[in-house]
Structure 1
Amino acid sequence: MPHVVTQACCGDASCVYACPVNCIHPTPDEPDFGIAEMLYIDPSTCVDCGACVSACPVGAIVPGHRLDEKAARFVDANAAHYGYTQRDAVRFPVQQDWRLPLAPIDKPKAVRGGPAVIDIAIVGSGPSAMYAADELLKQPRVRVTVYERLNLPFGLSRFGVAPDHTSTRLVMDLFDEVARHPNITILLNTEVGRDVTLDELRAKHTAVLWAGGAPTDRPLPVPGVDLRGVQSATSIVGWYNGHPDFVDAGPDLSTERVVVIGNGNVALDVARILTADVDALADTSISRDALASLRESKVREVVVAARRGPEHAAFTLPELIGLADGSARVWVDPADLVGASVDGVDDPTIAAKISLLQEISQRERPAEPFIRLTFGQTPVAIEGSDSATGVRFAHEGSESVLETGLVLTAIGYRGVPVPGLPFDDATGTIANVDGRVTDTPGVYVTGWIKRGPSGFIGTNKTDSGQTVANLLADIEAASPGR
């Protein structure tokens, strides 16, 4: 049986470049790379060489014969991307010549001209920053200084990944390796705007690469969001991961029901942690303060409420599979799936989500505490006077109130303006063209503050590669005699 990409997939495409037979897609050259929920191995082409296993930074690729029960669905998930089912050995017509050529693996060309030492400042040390540093350090004349305001590096890969997703967190080993390069310096507890100004960075360095991410939440535009007992899911993630900004963000877990508005991967992460076996969490990197609070929790149900139907679910298929087949207790009321069907659905990922949700809905309601996924619920208002007592939802022309003492909003991230740089308020990004900051020579962006909050940890690799290529090209073009 061929190799299989599983839930931990970070999408950084290292496996694509390692594969000798071009069986892993989408590649960075293909139009759906930026929106794919994971990468997929074609079982008809895979030769079981194992090159992808060695290349994967998060251990997401497993030989098919070694898959455990929790990962068994990924056999079909990989095969379905290519139009057939591996497990049933049923082969549908597959057009084999549609693929683009395997992206070439070229050694980076040395920058000609420019200063003897190319000194680059990177603001932030999250995934986009570290992937950019890795690419820059392939140039022997480049020196990189990373300015990180926190006391620990690596941003969302440290403080944004759920503590029980231990495989995904392995990407920090890759970043540790980058950080050991002799030509990089990481300055912790150093905030641009407080300890050093942007103008000072521009004067000191050949170029500045801003990789500050999208650190705030999109606001939920309904009455009552300012009530006590309403907070962002992001703050909960920061709290249980020990983020210094969210040490005091611990929620009141004395309520029996928590309502999460939004159903992306962050919403599922928070719901899973709030209902998890605390003893199992004790063996993870979870904050000890959060662990103590969870031991005293009175939460019996976490409702993850989506505005649209299951065909528009924001969570990814890998996350849903992990939730359904892992240790989480999850349930869907069959009434919420009335009318949902895979008939006429061309996208195999959407069809697989609907099918799995239907399967979950046929299970017995699990023991408490459990997660309930619900759909077609549009939040109208948060009820309560001083603190939240419920959420008023509109559903199919009527309204109802779901009682709760804790409401978590999880409807996306947003970038914030950076003094001295042009900001696109519509997209929540620093205005740029392919990473070059608009009307600001020598300043570049990468990551979510460049493209908006989309993609996964590994998506930043190709994104940062584009920015770095443009940065180095500009330095070369500006050299005398060029």
Structure 2
Amino acid sequence: MAYVITQTCCNDASCVAVCPVNCIHPTPDEPQFGSAEMLHIDPQTCIDCGACADACPVEAILPDDKLEPSQTRFAEINADYYRTHPMPDGWSPLAPAPAAPRDRGTLRVAVVGAGPAACYAAQELLERSDVEVEMFDRLPTPFGLVRAGVAPDHPGTKSVTESFEWSFRREAFALHLDTEIGRDLTHAELLEHHHAVVYAVGASADRRLGIPGEDLAGSHAATEFVAWYNGHPDYADRTFDLSGERAVIVGNGNVAIDVARILTMDVDELARTDIADHALEALRHSNVREVVLLGRRGPVQAAYSNPEFLALGDLNGVDIVIDESDLVLDAAGERAVAHDPAVAMRVQLAREYAARTPQDGNRRIVFRYFTAPEELFGTGRVEGVRIAHTELVENSEGALVARTTDDVEVIDAGLVLRSIGYRGVPVPDLPFDDQRAVVPNTGGRVETGVYVTGWIKRGPSGVIGTNKGCAKETVAALFADFDAGRLTQPEGDRRSLGTLLAERRPDRVDLDGWRAIDAAERAAGRVSGRPRIKITDRAALVDLGRRRRRLPFIGSVRR
């Protein structure tokens, strides 16, 4: 028997660190790690010790004899990786670096943000006993895109938050929610009270198409739709017209697949998740029967991951529709299939979907490759999309890019969602690279005492666990600066910061406030057999959090 990594793999490499035989790859020090969709266990080397399963924060690792029918394909995916990436020889664990002398007192660090990048940074910081961490977030709830971005039917992925609770329980950690840097505290004031500030603010804007009609009613960013159905308080009052039978999503990455799945899946299945109640009610009355995903390039270059693409095939009452003519590969595509198992699997899955016979009465998710939107049209609101077919050509650097042709057509649709990526926004008092939409940095260092991690550091790339390695790099730079005496001793301490916050934001939500919110949502969920029922009104969240009822932590227990 061997263990198998499945769909919810978060790529944080906790499993790599505990594997006694080095059978999990790619590892963080291998070139493939940065672009890997997921990690893989070599079935020939695995010794069935189960250490990886115990360490996995999202419960994605299972014995091969415990796989559900929908998961059995992952045994093949794991094994296929080693066809082109054979196990290395002569591996041995790295010896830990000698600890630096710690005679500089307590290191105080402010972490701005409370999403996974921020939480991984706090974890790394609190590995040392001479550190105090103050975490700030403008929302009344923590966990960022884990709470407001991960699809509600992916509860396993959300369980990564349980691994962050270790940091939250530390005496050296303090949480300040509903507290906005730039409004309640300035960047300069953070530096006055801390040796260093780590910004982990993500990429909160969306990219635009830049085509006529993009601002018509009925045209939205997919990021807004995702935030709406996940109960983000800033988006809870949005409305989306679901009265038409067809929706078009521009883009075919994992977010686009999430949105297509939510629009087409059985509402009774959604009713067992933590989807926001207002979204659940709207989807109960939705007329959407078909969702079309537009991708500029072909299945070889598609932006979605194989695990997400594979999972679509298990949707009840939903057909996945692909035109076989889109699956004819050119020479470059054939080479990619021959040399990359992930690409080969992607094309194989697409061919399997294309060979299926659609069932009468089913909803449909239609993948349209080699298409690009040129205009959204309609009188007052979106009525359709004019698209141009594309062809792949080599640019001056030898890369394949999509070029539009004169072959155009129109797709009628009452809802259009653009899903072409997130974009970082400037951070007050920090430099900003507008072209890359990141804060310029070197290994996480911005300037003396100022650091970045996560998407604002590297751009919107990777999955949740990618932020762990990113945080390790940033925190290592911070520790090196502190131990070398390069950081300025702050004038204020935790007490003086508390005094300042009491003046500026006396009703902020602290850790006990978040625990009260968490307990209330979980209690409401238990009544209806759901993980939680999210409170989506900011005022209600803040009011509940302000009560600061001192409760024991209530959370799910790892099996």
Which category describes the TM-score, using the shorter chain as reference length? over 0.9
**CA separation of 1:7/1:34 partners in 2, compared to 1, >3 Å: closer, same or farther?**
same
Question: 1:270, 1:283 → 2: CA distance?
Answer: 17
Unaligned runs of 5+ in 1: 85-93
**CA separation of 1:147/1:100 partners in 2, compared to 1, >3 Å: closer, same or farther?**
farther
Question: 2:153, 2:243 → 1: CA distance?
Answer: 23
Which residue of the partner structure matches residue 9 of structure 1? Answer: 9
SS at match of 2:159: helix
**2:354 is equivalent to residue 361 of structure 1:** yes
User: What's the offset of the Cα at 1:276?
Assistant: 1.2
User: What's the offset of the Cα at 1:343?
Assistant: 3.8
**CA separation of 1:105/1:14 partners in 2, compared to 1, >3 Å: closer, same or farther?**
farther
* Between structures 1 and 2, the one with greater helix share: 2
Equivalences for 1:50-89 in 2 at 5 Å? 50-83=50-83
Contact 2:327 2:347 in 1 (8 A): no
**CA separation of 1:75/1:377 partners in 2, compared to 1, >3 Å: closer, same or farther?**
same
**2:122 is equivalent to residue 113 of structure 1:** no
Contact 1:336 1:375 in 2 (8 A): no
Which residue of the partner structure matches residue 91 of structure 1? Answer: none
Which residue of the partner structure matches residue 372 of structure 1? Answer: 366
**2:410 is equivalent to residue 401 of structure 1:** yes
**2:377 is equivalent to residue 383 of structure 1:** yes
User: What's the offset of the Cα at 1:336?
Assistant: 4.5
Q: Map Cα deviations across residues 357-395 of structure 1 (whole Å, 9 max, x no partner).
A: 100011112443221111111111111131111011101
**CA separation of 1:71/1:197 partners in 2, compared to 1, >3 Å: closer, same or farther?**
same
User: What's the offset of the Cα at 1:113?
Assistant: 3.4
Contact 1:340 1:354 in 2 (8 A): no
Q: Map Cα deviations across residues 316-356 of structure 1 (whole Å, 9 max, x no partner).
A: 01111111234472422334424138743211101100110
User: What's the offset of the Cα at 1:173?
Assistant: 1.1
Q: Map Cα deviations across residues 266-286 of structure 1 (whole Å, 9 max, x no partner).
A: 000010011111111111110
User: What's the offset of the Cα at 1:141?
Assistant: 1.2
Alignment counterpart, residue 207 of structure 2, candidates 202, 205, 218: 218
Matched residue count: 467
**CA separation of 1:326/1:18 partners in 2, compared to 1, >3 Å: closer, same or farther?**
farther
User: What's the offset of the Cα at 1:178?
Assistant: 2.0
User: What's the offset of the Cα at 1:222?
Assistant: 1.1
Alignment counterpart, residue 419 of structure 2, candidates 379, 388, 410: 410
Which residue of the partner structure matches residue 442 of structure 1? Answer: 449
**CA separation of 1:431/1:328 partners in 2, compared to 1, >3 Å: closer, same or farther?**
farther
Which residue of the partner structure matches residue 234 of structure 2? Answer: 245
Question: 1:249, 1:103 → 2: CA distance?
Answer: 51
Question: 2:369, 2:422 → 1: CA distance?
Answer: 21
Contact 2:247 2:414 in 1 (8 A): yes
Contact 1:334 1:362 in 2 (8 A): no
Which residue of the partner structure matches residue 461 of structure 1? Answer: 468
**CA separation of 1:105/1:357 partners in 2, compared to 1, >3 Å: closer, same or farther?**
farther
**2:134 is equivalent to residue 145 of structure 1:** yes
Q: Map Cα deviations across residues 200-219 of structure 1 (whole Å, 9 max, x no partner).
A: 10111110000000111111
Q: What is the identity percentage for the equivalent residue pairs of Structure 1 and Structure 2? A: 50
Question: 1:149, 1:105 → 2: CA distance?
Answer: 40
**CA separation of 1:152/1:355 partners in 2, compared to 1, >3 Å: closer, same or farther?**
same
Which residue of the partner structure matches residue 518 of structure 2? Answer: none
User: What's the offset of the Cα at 1:95?
Assistant: 4.6
Moved more, 287-296 or 342-351: 342-351
TM-score, L = length of structure 1: 0.94
User: What's the offset of the Cα at 1:6?
Assistant: 0.3
Moved more, 169-178 or 100-109: 100-109
User: RMSD of the TM alignment (CA)?
Assistant: 1.8
List structure 1 runs of 4+ shifted beyond 4 angstroms.
none
**CA separation of 1:189/1:105 partners in 2, compared to 1, >3 Å: closer, same or farther?**
farther
**2:98 is equivalent to residue 104 of structure 1:** no
